Structure 1
Amino acid sequence: MRLVSHPVLCNYYVTYRCNAACSFCDIWERPSPYITLEEAKANLAALKQLGVKVVDFTGGEPLLHRQLDELLKECKRLGLLTTITTNCLLYPKYANRLRGLVDMLHFSLDSPEPEEHDLSRGVKCFDKVMESIQIAKSLGERPDILFTVFESNIHQIKKVWQEICKPHGLVLILNPVFEYNKVGSQLSPAALQQLRQWGKKSNVYLNDAFIQLRLDGGNHTDSPICLAGSTTIVISPENKLVLPCYHLGLKEFAIENNLYELYLSDEVQNLVALEGRLPACEGCAINCYMQPSFAVTINKYWWKALPSTLKYNRIKGTWKQLF
């Protein structure tokens, strides 16, 4: 049963540029402009009108956008929840400007060992993560640690949880690695079962539906779980609507200050109707689009996702704003 028919999330790419070179991501290789404040304000108003609840300002590295605080302020004015994930290289510089504007602030950390984390990210940034934790806490912020899980670092979860998250009162978000366009990798069934146990720990967030979907072989085009097109609006730095999702990028539509009408147009909705059914959708398990997909239709994945969703939003105090 479908509970919500309108989009609930916007993945707003402020730029594809990045000051890191992560081994499991290729977005930093793409040339890119930055979104403009004028276009973004018009788009945010349209997103609100379409029913979107959460705006994820992403990239690339979102803190490279020098007007990010203005974008966040506009979201706050419209009553939209905000989320940002950063490698922390620039957070100490901009922390004061971002204070109180990010509802879900995620600091990426893939290992408790500086050399291992820096190798994964292709740049020295471990020390910046540690510095950013201290700065954020001093400003009254409540960042989370986003830990992308690979076969090679799953054994490091315990140390990150015990030595970094627990002493600082931080939520540990476990983000199972996903594969797309020959980028990234997959986790073994044994690793997935190990992750499932970690999701039961205090102050650890792991969406168990991510695990179940992988054990089930990902999305299947004959009976799709993915609802990327109807739950998630993707906007590129070139101010284009991207469908069915960023990772497929099958078609782009110039927004031209017309996002509301464009999204509801027959051409866009006909493409939305193919969500999860395209050949490239077979076996997909991309977290960015599965999480909102799990939230809008009651099925076994909805029930799998529910406990962790309630747990995280209770801890963060954001659950009331989602309804």
Structure 2
Amino acid sequence: MVFTFCYLMRIRSKPVLCNYYVTYRCNAKCSFCDIWERPSPYITLDDVAQNLRDLKRLGVEVIDFTGGEPLLHRQIDQMLGMAHDMGFITTLTTNGMLYPKLAERLKGKVDMLHFSLDSPDREEHDTGRGVACYDFVMESIKVARALGERPDILFTVFRHNLHQLEELYQNIILPNKLLLILNPAFAYNEVETGEQLTEEELTFLSNFGKRKYVYLNDGFVELRRDGGNHIDKPVCKAASTTLVISPENELVLPCYHLGTKSFPIQGKLYELYQSTEVEALKRLEGRLPACEGCTINCYMQPSFAVELNKYFWKALPSTLKYNYLKGTWKRLLPFNN
């Protein structure tokens, strides 16, 4: 009985992450994403400033400025700088099209800078992204490294590009001394990502993730082997680990992809997140009908970090590896806040 209790023990009650959508607009049309189809405003700097103060009070440690394409926001450098100066770990993922001209303004403000690249083949990558952006990624790598930045390559893994990992690793990752983040594709809503990886392919992916300069959260692999989240015994802790803020300055629950309710923040994020209505929705995390079989990585990653279960132990080695190689653990030390 004691072992069972410890095995399922919650080790952190505060939220870990904020997925801050600066806009849903995008200059690409990726085949595996529908966010670019949505009309969208841009977040305001004043709202960001107030929300960051409340996020700090709530205990959030990581701010992911996302989209859409986050670099479309003309004040993205100010938002990143503000968050970074407040002691948050900042992260941003871009298709690279705007990075070269904004790189100087972003320098030193992004702890985890990710360039999306899904194939070492220019034509294949550009086809999947719906726009010619391969050359921009290659240019972005050169610009970032010249500025002393340490970007990562975010590779979304499908069955059709799994065989290209070796070529990308040998020709792009190793020569540039980049970190390769393996991001297994996930389906949601009406977005299709093709056939799921087979057991043999999952094993190949897991083994590849153990290479030097490669990051793969093995919890993602284990979850797929288990058929994803199950609503009778949910793994997902999306609503209690992650705050999702929309471009309309609303708190979205339980997550962006499956969000069923939005609450206007109106300068009171701290109070809103702890309100009775939001607490009730938190208790439904991972238990809604749409949550069955879910494998959405951006919510599973923080979920694996807050409860002692098999996914926690699967995720731990790769998480330690990434934070050691990137040096982001230093940002969590008390004297850096």
Give the TM-score band, short-chain normalised. over 0.9
1:14-53 alignment runs, 5 A limit: 14-53=22-61
Q: In structure 2, what is the Cα distance between the partners aligned to 1:91 and 1:150?
A: 26
| Equivalent in the alignment of 2:213 | 203
Q: In structure 2, what is the Cα distance between the partners aligned to 1:48 and 1:42?
A: 10
User: Deviation at 1:104?
Assistant: 0.2
Q: What secondary structure is seen at the aligned counterpart in 1 of 2:141? A: helix
Aligned residue type for 1:296: V
Listed one character per residue, the Cα deviations across residues 206-259 of structure 1 (whole Å, up to 9, x for unaligned) are 000000000000000010000000000000000000000001110000000000
| Equivalent in the alignment of 1:121 | 129
| Equivalent in the alignment of 1:280 | 290
| Equivalent in the alignment of 1:306 | 316
Q: What secondary structure is seen at the aligned counterpart in 2 of 1:276? A: coil
| Equivalent in the alignment of 2:185 | 177
Q: In structure 2, what is the Cα distance between the partners aligned to 1:82 and 1:26?
A: 24
User: Deviation at 1:77?
Assistant: 2.0
| Equivalent in the alignment of 2:6 | none
User: Deviation at 1:193?
Assistant: 1.3
The structure 2 residue matched to 1:212, chosen from 217, 222, 226, is 222
Q: In structure 1, what is the Cα distance between the partners aligned to 2:185 and 2:200?
A: 14
Q: Normalising by structure 2, what TM-score?
A: 0.95
| Residue ranges of structure 1 left out of the alignment (5+ in a row) | none
Aligned residue type for 1:240: E
| Equivalent in the alignment of 1:237 | 247
| Equivalent in the alignment of 1:130 | 138
Alpha carbons 1:177, 1:184 under 8 Å: kept: no
Q: In structure 2, what is the Cα distance between the partners aligned to 1:321 and 1:299?
A: 26
Q: What secondary structure is seen at the aligned counterpart in 2 of 1:112? A: coil
Q: What secondary structure is seen at the aligned counterpart in 2 of 1:174? A: strand
Q: How many residues were matched structurally?
A: 323
Structure 2 residue 301 is the aligned partner of structure 1 residue 291: yes
| Equivalent in the alignment of 1:141 | 149
Q: What secondary structure is seen at the aligned counterpart in 2 of 1:184? A: coil
Structure 2 residue 202 is the aligned partner of structure 1 residue 192: yes
Q: In structure 2, what is the Cα distance between the partners aligned to 1:320 and 1:261?
A: 30
Aligned residue type for 1:284: C
Question: Identity of aligned pairs, percent?
Answer: 67
Structure 2 residue 18 is the aligned partner of structure 1 residue 10: yes
Q: In structure 1, what is the Cα distance between the partners aligned to 2:136 and 2:116?
A: 11
The structure 1 residue matched to 2:70, chosen from 62, 70, 77, is 62
Q: In structure 2, what is the Cα distance between the partners aligned to 1:316 and 1:15?
A: 27
Structure 2 residue 89 is the aligned partner of structure 1 residue 81: yes
| Equivalent in the alignment of 1:269 | 279
Q: In structure 2, what is the Cα distance between the partners aligned to 1:90 and 1:150?
A: 26
User: Deviation at 1:96?
Assistant: 0.3
| Residue ranges of structure 2 left out of the alignment (5+ in a row) | 1-8
Q: In structure 2, what is the Cα distance between the partners aligned to 1:124 and 1:226?
A: 35
Aligned residue type for 1:235: I
Q: Normalising by structure 1, what TM-score?
A: 0.99
Q: What secondary structure is seen at the aligned counterpart in 1 of 2:148? A: coil
Structure 2 residue 111 is the aligned partner of structure 1 residue 103: yes
Q: In structure 2, what is the Cα distance between the partners aligned to 1:318 and 1:89?
A: 26
Q: What secondary structure is seen at the aligned counterpart in 1 of 2:305? A: helix
